[in-house]
Amino acid sequence: MAKTEIKVGFGDQVKAVSVELPKGEAKPWDADAQLEVVGKPIPRRDGALKVSGRAKYTYDVNLPGMLYAAVVRSPLPAAKVVSVDTSAAEKIAGVKAVVQVAEKGDAVLFAGQDVAAVVAERPEQAWQAARAVKVEYEQRRFVTRLAFAATPDAPLVHRGAVEERRTEGHVTEGGGGDAQGNKRPLRPMKKGDVSKGLKGATVHEAVYETQVQTHSALETHGIVARWDDDEHLTVWASTQSIFSVRDELAEVFDLKPTNVRVHTDYLGGGFGAKFGASAPGSRLGTIAARLAKQTGAPVKLMCDRHEEQVCTGNRPDSIQTVKVAGKGTALTAIEVQSIGTAGIGTGAGVGRNAFAVYTKCPNILVDSSDVFTNAGPGTAMRAPGHPQGAFAFELALDELATKLGVDPIELRLANDEHPVRLWQFEEGAKRFDWKAKRAESKRLREGKARIRRGCGVAASIWGDFGRPKAAVVTCSVLRDGSVEIRNGVQDIGTGIPTVLAQIGAEVFTRPLDTIIVRYGDSELGSSVGSGGSQTTSSVTPAVRNACEDAKEKFIEHVAELLGAKPADVSWANDGTLSAGGASITFAQACKKIPGESITATADRPATYGNHPMPFLGAPMPQIAGVQFAEVEVDTWTGVVRAKHVLAMHDCGRVMNRLTCTSQVNGGVILGTSYALMEQRVMDHDVGRMLNPNLESYKICGAADTPEIEVVLTDVYTGANNTGAAGIGEPSTIPTAAALACAVFDALGEPVRRLPMTPSRVLAALGAVPAPKGLG
ω into 612 cis (within 30 of 0): yes
DSSP readout, 161-188?
A: --PPP--TT--S---B---BTTEEEBPP
Residue 699 lies in a domain: yes
Average pLDDT over residues 517-542: 97
Three-state secondary-structure class, residue 329: coil
Residue 76 lies in a domain: yes
Average pLDDT over residues 673-696: 98
404-439 pLDDT per residue, tens: 999 999 999 999 999 999 999 999 999 999 999 999
**pLDDT of the residue at 773:** 72
Are the C-beta atoms of 385 and 356 separated by less than 8 Å? Answer: no
Three-state secondary-structure class, residue 473: strand
CATH of residue 754's domain is 3.30.365.10
Residue 116 lies in a domain: yes
pLDDT of 173 over the 60 cut: no
Residues 630 and 589 in one domain: no
Residue 617 lies in a domain: yes
Examine the fold and report which residue of 266, 294, 311 is the final residue of a domain before the chain moves on.
311
For residue 671, give every residue at least 6 positions away whose Cβ sits within 8 Å of its Cβ, in sequence order, or none.
Answer: 387, 732, 733, 734, 735, 736, 739
Examine the fold and report which residue of 292, 311, 330 is the final residue of a domain before the chain moves on.
311
Are the C-beta atoms of 206 and 752 separated by less than 8 Å? Answer: yes
Residue 550 lies in a domain: yes
Element (H or E) spanning 672, and its range?
helix 657-676
Percentage, residues of the chain above pLDDT 90: 95
Give the Cβ contact number of residue 607 at 10 Å.
Answer: 23
**pLDDT of the residue at 9:** 97
- Burial (Cβ within 10 Å: 0-12, 13-18, ≥19) of residue 417: exposed
- DSSP letter at 25 equals P
Are the C-beta atoms of 353 and 733 separated by less than 8 Å? Answer: yes
Are the C-beta atoms of 651 and 711 separated by less than 8 Å? Answer: no
Closest among 219, 716, 267 to 496, alpha carbons compared: 267
- DSSP letter at 493 equals S
Are the C-beta atoms of 633 and 747 separated by less than 8 Å? Answer: yes
**pLDDT of the residue at 394:** 98
Buried b (16+ CB within 10 A) or exposed e, 624-651: bbbbbbbbbbebeebbbbbebbbbbbbb
pLDDT of 730 over the 70 cut: yes
Closest among 208, 215, 150 to 181, alpha carbons compared: 150
Give the whole-angstrom CA distance, residue 428 versus residue 712.
11
Give the Cβ contact number of residue 140 at 10 Å.
Answer: 16
Residue 529 lies in a domain: yes
Identity at 553, one-letter amino acid code = K
The residue ranking higher by pLDDT, 175 or 589, is: 589
Strands 299-302 and 67-73: parallel
Alpha carbon 606 to its chain centroid, in Å, reads 22
pLDDT of 491 over the 90 cut: yes
Give the whole-angstrom CA distance, residue 39 versus residue 440.
38
What are the angstrom distances between the C-alpha of 4 and each of 30, 34, 381, 471, 653? 11, 18, 39, 24, 19
Are the C-beta atoms of 535 and 726 separated by less than 8 Å? Answer: yes
592-611 pLDDT per residue, tens: 999 999 999 999 999 999 99
Residues 552 and 481 in one domain: yes
pLDDT of 755 over the 90 cut: yes
Phi, psi of 202 (to 5 degrees): -75, 125
pLDDT of 48 over the 70 cut: yes
Residues 723 and 597 in one domain: no
Are the C-beta atoms of 556 and 548 separated by less than 8 Å? Answer: no
**pLDDT of the residue at 178:** 83
What is the total count of domains within the chain? Answer: 3
Give the whole-angstrom CA distance, residue 443 versus residue 745.
11
For residue 298, give every residue at least 6 positions away whose Cβ sits within 8 Å of its Cβ, in sequence order, or none.
Answer: 63, 64, 65, 66, 67, 224, 225, 226, 292
Residues 722 and 620 in one domain: yes
- DSSP letter at 724 equals B
Lowest-confidence segment of 21-25, 114-118, 161-165 by average pLDDT: 161-165
Percentage, residues of the chain above pLDDT 70: 98
DSSP readout, 330-391?
A: EEEEEEEEEEE-BTTB------SHHHHTSTT-S-EEEEEEEE--SSPPP---SSTTHHHHHH
pLDDT of 280 over the 80 cut: yes
Residue 255 lies in a domain: yes
Residues 453 and 470 in one domain: no
Buried b (16+ CB within 10 A) or exposed e, 90-102: eebeebbbbbbbb
DSSP readout, 561-616?
A: HHTS-GGG-EE-TTSEEEETTEEEEHHHHHHT-SSSEEEEEE---------S-BST
In DSSP terms, which residues pair with 279 in a beta bridge? 282
Q: Beta-strand (E) ranges in 211-316?
A: 213-214, 222-229, 232-237, 260-263, 299-302, 314-315
Residues 562 and 625 in one domain: no
pLDDT of 674 over the 70 cut: yes
Residue 209 lies in a domain: no
Average pLDDT over residues 471-488: 98
**pLDDT of the residue at 708:** 98
Give the whole-angstrom CA distance, residue 668 versus residue 736.
9
Domain that holds residue 254: 58-142+216-311
pLDDT of 34 over the 60 cut: yes
In which band, very low, low, confident or very high, does the pLDDT at 175 lie, cut at 50, 70 and 90? low
- Report the mean per-residue pLDDT for the chain: 96
ω into 755 cis (within 30 of 0): yes
Average pLDDT over residues 276-302: 97
**pLDDT of the residue at 424:** 98
Give the whole-angstrom CA distance, residue 457 versus residue 444.
19
126-172 pLDDT per residue, tens: 999 999 999 999 999 999 999 999 999 999 999 888 877 767 666 66
Average pLDDT over residues 365-377: 98
What are the angstrom distances between the C-alpha of 78 and each of 81, 160, 675? 10, 15, 31
Torsion over CA: 396, 398, 399, 401 (sign)? positive
Give the whole-angstrom CA distance, residue 388 versus residue 366.
13
705-717 pLDDT per residue, tens: 999 999 999 999 9
Residues 472 and 447 in one domain: no
Residues 23 and 75 in one domain: no
216-264 pLDDT per residue, tens: 999 999 999 999 999 999 999 999 999 999 999 999 999 999 999 999 9
Residues 431 and 470 in one domain: no
The residue ranking higher by pLDDT, 577 or 769, is: 577
Give the Cβ contact number of residue 284 at 10 Å.
Answer: 26
Helices 535-562, 496-508: axis angle to 10 degrees equals 30
Average pLDDT over residues 103-129: 98
Residues 132 and 274 in one domain: yes
Average pLDDT over residues 174-193: 89
Are the C-beta atoms of 301 and 222 separated by less than 8 Å? Answer: yes
Q: Report, in angstroms and rounded to the nearest whole number, the Rg of the chain calculated over CA atoms.
A: 28
Examine the fold and report which residue of 278, 311, 344 is the final residue of a domain before the chain moves on.
311
Average pLDDT over residues 37-42: 98
Residues 490 and 562 in one domain: yes
Sheet with 451-463, side-by-side order of all strands: 451-463, 622-634, 640-650, 707-713
Identity at 475, one-letter amino acid code = C
Strands 622-634 and 451-463: antiparallel
Residues 612 and 568 in one domain: no
**pLDDT of the residue at 775:** 60
298-314 pLDDT per residue, tens: 999 999 999 999 999 99
Q: Number of C-alpha atoms within 13 angstroms, CB side, residue 177?
A: 13
